[in-house]
């Protein structure tokens, strides 16, 4: 029935207080698989350098009785380096907004500081999985992981490695090849190359779509016989439609879906094979709030800033399968 005539309703009111849920959900995930896995260190310079060395390849070592000694030349270690990159997040909130009753306190300093801290951490992960060659100078960029790896790789047709250029002291971005579907053959190929080069892969970071393709490897006739049902409480069975580990002939790895690698096709096209001992992140300035931002008006200003770089201890301990369809079956 309709309301009686002259009933004063909320639609006529002018002074009702609006209500907005005080629970604000941050839908952007905070996970950073690669950055979380690797060791964190410090540096005192904007261009930290390090050396890598390796054993000679095995060979026949047969000497005659009474043989006179001969001495081989020593191969000096390779000298590598990366540049630190400055990352910053900032905000400005009017002094009035800071004190008014605000649903969820989203437009408040404390919340913004927390949010920006999460965002800058995800930016670090993005810089690691991106394909940026290193850049010196005032606007420095550290060489992304993909620009370092040249030994244990699988690339599409016409794809080419980048790598560290000892002449310039900079990394070079690889050349994209023809995109293709991720397969067990590609996975095994990089695993085998890594094993032969002395790598001990323990993790593989991929886009969520590539992780879903990995799960289909259970249908491979060489794998299907190892599937088993999982009992839940002794009464109900679970349909197994996922897999997190792959035990290849050359080691066991955990496959991590990385949401940051789903930002765009450029990041999604790579699957990174990681030995955490072969990577670290060096902070010249850890992420912190700049307390010296000048107050110049009736507003509260905030800045979070940090500066760091990726250290690749030895690229032979890492691997990459590139040029994959990383977002869909065709992109």
Write the pLDDT tens digit of every residue in 45-65.
999 999 988 778 888 888 899
Mean pLDDT confidence for 213-222: 78
Confidence bin at 107 (pLDDT 50/70/90): low
Residue 291 has pLDDT above 60, yes or no: yes
* 63 within a domain of the structure (yes/no): no
Name the residue with higher pLDDT: 116 or 186.
186
Could you give the percent of the chain with pLDDT greater than 90? 60
Q: How far apart are CA 122 and CA 304, in angstroms?
A: 14
Helix (H, G, I), strand (E, B) or coil at 159: coil
Taking only Cα atoms into account, the Rg of the chain, rounded to an integer number of angstroms, comes to: 27
Q: How far apart are CA 112 and CA 115, in angstroms?
A: 5
* 213 within a domain of the structure (yes/no): yes
Confidence bin at 209 (pLDDT 50/70/90): very high
**Do 210 and 180 contact (CB within 8 A), yes or no?**
no
Structurally, how many domains does the chain consist of?
A: 1
Name the residue with higher pLDDT: 192 or 301.
192
Name the residue with higher pLDDT: 292 or 142.
142
* 91 within a domain of the structure (yes/no): yes
* 62 within a domain of the structure (yes/no): no
Q: How far apart are CA 17 and CA 10, in angstroms?
A: 11
Mean pLDDT confidence for 192-207: 96
Mean pLDDT confidence for 95-121: 75
Residue 308 has pLDDT above 90, yes or no: yes
Print the domain residue range for 196. 33-47+78-221+240-321
Q: How far apart are CA 150 and CA 179, in angstroms?
A: 18
* 283 within a domain of the structure (yes/no): yes
**Do 87 and 310 contact (CB within 8 A), yes or no?**
no
* 160 within a domain of the structure (yes/no): yes
Distant-in-sequence, close-in-space partners of 290: CB < 8 Å, separation ≥ 6 = 303, 304, 305
Instruction: State how beta strands 85-94 and 152-154 pair.
Output: unpaired
Mean pLDDT confidence for 233-240: 57
Residue 238 has pLDDT above 90, yes or no: no
Instruction: State how beta strands 85-94 and 230-232 pair.
Output: unpaired
**Do 311 and 81 contact (CB within 8 A), yes or no?**
no
Q: How far apart are CA 2 and CA 103, in angstroms?
A: 34
Residue 113 has pLDDT above 90, yes or no: no
* 60 within a domain of the structure (yes/no): no
Tokens at 35, concatenated: 């950055």
Residue 91: the pLDDT is 86
Mean pLDDT confidence for 165-189: 96
Residue 2 has pLDDT above 80, yes or no: no
* 67 within a domain of the structure (yes/no): no
Q: What are phi and psi of 203, to 5 degrees?
A: -140, 150
How many angstroms separate the first and last alpha carbons of the chain?
Answer: 56
Name the residue with higher pLDDT: 278 or 301.
278
Residue 183: the pLDDT is 96
């Amino acid at each position: 029935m309709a309301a009686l005539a002259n009933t004063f309703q909320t639609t006529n009111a002018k002074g009702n207080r609006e209500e907005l849920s005080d629970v604000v959900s941050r839908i952007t995930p905070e996970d950073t698989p690669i950055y979380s896995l690797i060791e964190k260190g410090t540096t005192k310079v904007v261009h930290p350098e390090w050396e890598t060395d390796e054993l000679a390849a095995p060979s026949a070592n047969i000497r005659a009785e009474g043989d006179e000694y001969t001495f081989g030349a020593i191969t000096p270690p390779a000298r590598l380096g990366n540049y630190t990159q400055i990352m910053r997040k900032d905000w400005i909130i009017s002094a009035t907004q800071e004190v008014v009753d605000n649903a969820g306190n989203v437009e408040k300093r404390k919340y913004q500081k927390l949010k920006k801290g999460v965002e800058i951490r995800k930016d670090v992960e993005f810089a690691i999985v991106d394909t940026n060659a290193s850049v010196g100078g005032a606007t420095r960029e550290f060489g992304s992981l993909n620009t370092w790896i040249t030994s244990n790789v699988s690339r599409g047709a016409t794809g080419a490695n980048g790598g560290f250029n000892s002449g310039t002291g900079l990394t070079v971005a690889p050349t994209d090849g023809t995109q293709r579907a991720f397969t067990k053959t590609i996975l095994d190929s990089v695993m085998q190359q890594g094993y032969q080069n002395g790598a001990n892969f323990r993790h593989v970071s991929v886009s969520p779509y590539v992780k879903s393709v990995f799960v289909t490897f259970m249908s491979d006739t060489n794998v299907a016989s190892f599937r088993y049902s999982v009992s839940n409480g002794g009464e109900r069975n679970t349909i197994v439609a996922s897999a997190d580990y792959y035990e290849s002939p050359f080691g066991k790895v955990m496959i991590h879906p990385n949401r940051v690698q789903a930002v765009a096709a450029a990041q999604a096209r790579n699957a990174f094979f990681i030995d955490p001992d072969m990577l670290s992140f060096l902070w010249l300035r850890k992420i912190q709030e700049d307390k010296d931002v000048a107050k110049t008006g009736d507003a509260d200003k905030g800045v979070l800033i940090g500066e760091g770089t990726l250290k690749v201890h030895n690229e032979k301990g890492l691997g990459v399968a590139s040029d994959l369809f990383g977002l869909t079956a065709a992109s």
